[in-house]
């Protein structure tokens, strides 16, 4: 299965709703992701649920929104990320981590977080540059930990020159 293709298909299905609700979508797909062995329909359902939840909460909170989606290969893992434009944890991130924590996963590593407002290196990267961001990160970690899963985050302390 091609993860990028599945996400693009879901975005195509949601394009009209996103347009009428003033939700913009930015994507940054890794073109070199390997194929995965998975049930494409189940993956599509997961991404549909995540994206619909994101749309709902953006509309409820702001009447509009910007959804950033990235995919990348990190060693032998494929990572799909969803965050708002400021790097804040979204309700869909909390839901994703809750679902990940339900499985037989011992540790979830949440990539890296940026520590200054202008330090975001990639879209859909979580930020930790203001006290207001801590409750979202806490909610995400607690959601994953409900079944005993541990969560780790790598903090970016250098400067992004992009």
Q: What is the pTM of this model?
A: 0.59
Structurally, at CATH architecture level, domain 3-156 sits in 2-Layer Sandwich (3.30)
The share of the chain scoring above pLDDT 70, in percent, equals 74
Structure-block tokens of residue 114 = 């940026």
Instruction: Note the pLDDT tens digit of each residue in 25-48.
Output: 989 899 988 887 878 888 888 888
Evaluate whether 6 touches 48 at the Cβ level (below 8 Å): no
The share of the chain scoring above pLDDT 90, in percent, equals 14
Q: Which of 6-10, 41-45, 48-52 has the highest mean pLDDT?
A: 6-10
Instruction: Note the pLDDT tens digit of each residue in 125-155.
Output: 777 778 888 888 888 888 877 877 666 665 5
pLDDT category at 9 given cuts 50, 70, 90 is: very high
Who contacts 121 (Cβ-Cβ below 8 Å, separation ≥6)?
112, 114, 156, 160, 162
Instruction: Note the pLDDT tens digit of each residue in 60-84.
Output: 777 888 888 888 877 666 767 666 6
Domain locations in the chain as residue ranges: 3-156
Q: Using alpha carbons, select from 41, 6, 44, 46 the residue that is nearest to residue 27.
A: 6
DSSP 38: S
Specify the pLDDT at position 159. Answer: 45
Report the distance separating Cα 46 and Cα 16, nearest Å: 19
């Amino acid at each position: 299965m091609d993860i990028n293709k599945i996400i693009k298909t879901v975005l195509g299905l949601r394009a009209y709703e996103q347009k009428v609700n003033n939700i913009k979508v930015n994507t940054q797909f890794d073109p070199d992701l390997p194929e995965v062995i998975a049930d494409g329909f189940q993956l599509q359902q997961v991404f549909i649920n995540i994206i619909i939840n994101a749309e709902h909460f953006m509309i409820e909170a702001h009447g509009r929104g910007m959804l950033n989606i990235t995919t990348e290969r990190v060693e032998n893992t494929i990572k799909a990320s969803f965050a708002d434009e400021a790097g804040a944890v979204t309700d869909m991130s909390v839901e994703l981590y809750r679902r990940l924590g339900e499985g037989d996963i011992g540790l979830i590593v949440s990539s890296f977080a940026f520590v200054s407002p202008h330090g975001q290196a990639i879209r859909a990267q979580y930020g930790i540059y203001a006290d207001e961001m801590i409750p979202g990160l806490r909610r995400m970690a607690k959601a994953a930990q409900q079944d005993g899963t541990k969560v780790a985050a790598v903090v970016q302390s250098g400067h992004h020159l992009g």
